[in-house]
Amino acid sequence: MKETSTDKSGSQTWITGLFVAGILVFGAGLLMLILGPASLQGGVSLSCISAGSVLMIISAFRLSGKGRYQQDERTRKIGAYGLSWSWFLTFIALFAIFWLNVLGLFTPDVSTLAVFLILLMGVSAKGFQWWFFRKGDVG
């Protein structure tokens, strides 16, 4: 089935809009950091800078790789399997951390645990998807 040009331009426009929004949020964070009161310099401005950076990076990758990403049933299935395996691995890690904490062997603070789980979920999802793509299929 052939895509219409409005579908492509609509998606392209949406991703370009996200890139521009990222630039605006990043710029607002920088302005708050430089010109804002001391109360804004810690949390709000750094959050805006981080969120703007993420928006710009993700949308730039999507814009640059527009022709490479083709989805079909197999790629969607592999993506879903990779995400479900990542969720299960994170569940097992939470279970292990709970027991390590109960036994007093490892007692992480909340920020360390949050960063660990965020990285575990993101890296393992991409890793599992890469592994399934290398295998060729799941099932």
Question: Tens of pLDDT along the chain (139 residues)?
Answer: 444 444 454 578 888 999 999 999 999 988 888 887 776 667 788 888 899 999 998 888 888 765 555 677 888 888 899 999 999 999 999 999 999 999 999 998 998 899 999 999 999 999 998 998 888 877 6
Examine the fold and report which residue of 47, 64, 81 is the final residue of a domain before the chain moves on. 64
Examine the fold and report which residue of 20, 40, 64 is the final residue of a domain before the chain moves on. 64
- Residue 46 neighbours by CB under 8 Å, 6+ apart: 29, 33
Query: Residue with structure tokens 């010109």?
Result: 35
Whether residues 17 and 57 fall in one domain:
yes
Q: pLDDT value at position 70?
A: 65
Q: pLDDT value at position 139?
A: 66
Q: pLDDT value at position 13?
A: 86
Joined tokens for residue 113: 């645990």
Whether residues 110 and 88 fall in one domain:
yes
What is the model's pTM?
Answer: 0.56
For residues 54 and 13, what is the distance between their CA atoms, to the nearest angstrom?
18
Helix ranges (H only) for the chain are 5-35, 38-42, 44-64, 73-102, 110-135
Whether residues 53 and 84 fall in one domain:
no
Whether residues 58 and 20 fall in one domain:
yes
DSSP code of 4?
P
Whether residues 49 and 86 fall in one domain:
no
- Residue 32 neighbours by CB under 8 Å, 6+ apart: 40, 41, 44, 45, 48
Q: pLDDT value at position 128?
A: 92
Cα 27 vs. chain centroid, distance in angstroms?
21
Whether residues 56 and 13 fall in one domain:
yes
Crossing angle of helices 44-64 and 5-35, rounded to 10°: 150
Whether residues 116 and 99 fall in one domain:
yes
The sign one gets for the Cα dihedral 10, 12, 16, 19 is positive
- Residue 70 neighbours by CB under 8 Å, 6+ apart: none
Whether residues 37 and 84 fall in one domain:
no
Whether residues 94 and 60 fall in one domain:
no
Whether residues 28 and 47 fall in one domain:
yes
Examine the fold and report which residue of 23, 44, 64 is the final residue of a domain before the chain moves on. 64
Whether residues 82 and 128 fall in one domain:
yes
Domains: count for the chain: 2
Q: Which domain holds residue 79?
A: 73-135
Q: pLDDT value at position 87?
A: 96
